[in-house]
Structure 1
């Protein structure tokens, strides 16, 4: 698919200026921002280095491991599964994956998975980061997990279980792993090979950016009330720099370029991947309540939190997307036809950079809002 480029010089210049400032002041080390508006690429900006150890420069073609921002790819594949007719949003997970029905989870549906309301937000405690590369072990453990609530009654962020839930439903329905479905259904038809990955081929590892912790990575004290294990809650550069993790199919996280992920969401908005009826269905409010993991108010569409970060919770939710641990951010806006992506190499405990750039983009594209 040939990409239509119609740059917005003012916005491109403003975004580039912010990126340069962040690198010059040492707040960030390497960043990418891409914005599509009404089907055209209007911002494609980078700054800093992809690898601070070698000085290799950041480019628009440098993939970056971006933690949960990769969930936009996971959710899209779930919607493409529904589009294909092999599953529906109301299909019980156990219909495809019988073992998952254990301990009262038999009522859980794909809709519940997409709204993080299945009730298995945390990885079973015998699963650690090194086990994420063992698909069958992780899925067996999740299938045997006892839910923390009756599926569909509460919501709580399924940090790492989410990707395996979607992925195992997809594998049972199609016989194919998520990395293959991403290639066949998204990257190949959209011309985005080399931009979006669940599992990076070994030959491509040298192209990737190298992550760094903003400060020495803290070891969290034990928290008896915490639902998620420390490694599920705190993004660490070591995970995103691990060749084993990077090469594994772990669709709770993803590796991508800002340009590629923004192009993917632009195609979603434009109707290239699903029709307008399904887009309306998947972006409507599907669950609203208190997140049982973090305690914040959550308003979810099917597979995405609704609302742009930093906007009032009562604002009409026309944006949907995902933040990624360490500060990356991807969203699409159905009202303005905007697709925004920002990813970076320095992992920060806040989203100040993402919000600043997202606010700047929204103000320039829709100045009278």
Structure 2
């Protein structure tokens, strides 16, 4: 057993030990973990390489494209829109975006968007990954989509449509794109420029981690009964390393450092970005039901799945956050005042690393854990 390092907090040592083991055994290639507790940075750990081709090491300042874990930034912008009076949770989307009312979607509200109950979980056929960089084309297609269920009656993971739904409401309410709102409302006030991105500036691309697939991924044939297309379901390193995708404003996915996203959530928990009444509303159960995409039980707050990875369905949820395709994970716990973020280079079809590290953090207060 390794001897404690004098002057290094025990939780930091514990997390660093796990990260080093994961890299040494080849289970992972590069990782970041950051944890804030009541506003203080308790863990800021990295291991491995950010780029397996060059050997460049991961640092706390290395941004990672982390797929849907970036949705926490999107949801927060929606809540800031509400707190500044631009919209309400029950504002009809058509009040801002009249074209969206086509095919029976006139009743859709921002609350429906945040609970993935709009009924348009999949990108309209004809929209492919290359089209995600064309904001106008994607939003026009979504506005003309026919819902799969009556809005508000069911939930189903809106994989890529979610970011464009929130983003177009935000753009019409403020006149600004999501990348600008993220910078002006969150990154600049918190001093996190260079840590949080929707659309990475070209000059910052060399700082990013380079993603890798854990194994060659066969291209699955399209199942006509599936709701989401294969590219919406299965993250790939090719997408996450694409300069076109990385530079585009696609707020269904995001690029960030673990330290940056954990700091953002710390500011949510301590009232700098959201008052206690709104936080209570946001983290209350807003929708429960069978996810129409995955067939699993879903329990959602406003903009976030509730409950930490590994907790039982019957446990009261105290955490909110998002997993990211490939294994990244971010969450905040409104009871303990803890915010956690983990990013990684190797895309895996499971969340074993995320759960292991989240378990370490949860047990961190127990000296015998």
Structure 1 and Structure 2 fold alike (TM over 0.5): yes
Q: Distance in 1 between matches of 2:70 and 2:53?
A: 25
Q: CA deviation at 1:367?
A: 7.5
Counterpart in the other structure of 1:3: none
Quickly say closer, same or farther: Cα 1:368–1:24, change in 2 above 3 A. Answer: closer
Q: Distance in 1 between matches of 2:113 and 2:366?
A: 33
Counterpart in the other structure of 2:321: 321
Query: Does residue 116 of structure 1 match 2:120?
Result: no
Listed one character per residue, the Cα deviations across residues 240-278 of structure 1 (whole Å, up to 9, x for unaligned) are 100000000000000000000000000000000011000
What TM-score, normalized by structure 2, do the two folds share? 0.97
Aligned 8 A contact 1:120 1:158 in 2: yes
Counterpart in the other structure of 1:13: 13
1:148-187 to structure 2, matched below 5 A, reads: 148-187=148-187
Counterpart in the other structure of 1:193: 193
Indicate the SS of the match to 1:220. Answer: coil
Cα RMSD over matched residues? 1.2
Indicate the SS of the match to 1:192. Answer: coil
Q: Distance in 1 between matches of 2:282 and 2:192?
A: 23
Counterpart in the other structure of 2:205: 205
Counterpart in the other structure of 1:129: 129
1:25-40 to structure 2, matched below 5 A, reads: 25-40=25-40
Counterpart in the other structure of 2:309: 309
Query: Does residue 256 of structure 1 match 2:256?
Result: yes
Q: CA deviation at 1:365?
A: 3.2
Listed one character per residue, the Cα deviations across residues 152-183 of structure 1 (whole Å, up to 9, x for unaligned) are 00000000000000000000000000000000
Listed one character per residue, the Cα deviations across residues 163-214 of structure 1 (whole Å, up to 9, x for unaligned) are 0000000000000000000000000000000000000000000000000000
Quickly say closer, same or farther: Cα 1:168–1:367, change in 2 above 3 A. Answer: farther
Q: Distance in 1 between matches of 2:367 and 2:116?
A: 34
Indicate the SS of the match to 1:106. Answer: coil
After TM superposition, the runs of 4+ consecutive aligned structure 1 residues lying more than 6 A away are: 366-369
Counterpart in the other structure of 2:50: 50
Q: Distance in 1 between matches of 2:232 and 2:131?
A: 13
1:211-360 to structure 2, matched below 5 A, reads: 211-360=211-360
Structure 2, unpaired ranges of 5+: 1-6
Q: Distance in 2 between matches of 1:242 and 1:217?
A: 17
Q: Distance in 2 between matches of 1:330 and 1:274?
A: 18
Aligned 8 A contact 1:8 1:42 in 2: no
Listed one character per residue, the Cα deviations across residues 124-159 of structure 1 (whole Å, up to 9, x for unaligned) are 010000000000000000000000001000000000
1:128-147 to structure 2, matched below 5 A, reads: 128-147=128-147
Q: Distance in 2 between matches of 1:282 and 1:222?
A: 36
Which deviates the most, 220-229 or 340-349?
Answer: 220-229
Counterpart in the other structure of 1:95: 95
Quickly say closer, same or farther: Cα 1:316–1:243, change in 2 above 3 A. Answer: same
Indicate the SS of the match to 2:31. Answer: strand
Q: Distance in 2 between matches of 1:255 and 1:128?
A: 20
Quickly say closer, same or farther: Cα 1:367–1:159, change in 2 above 3 A. Answer: farther
Q: Distance in 1 between matches of 2:326 and 2:217?
A: 12
Q: Distance in 1 between matches of 2:66 and 2:366?
A: 27
Quickly say closer, same or farther: Cα 1:31–1:305, change in 2 above 3 A. Answer: same
What TM-score, normalized by structure 1, do the two folds share? 0.97
Q: Distance in 2 between matches of 1:106 and 1:186?
A: 31
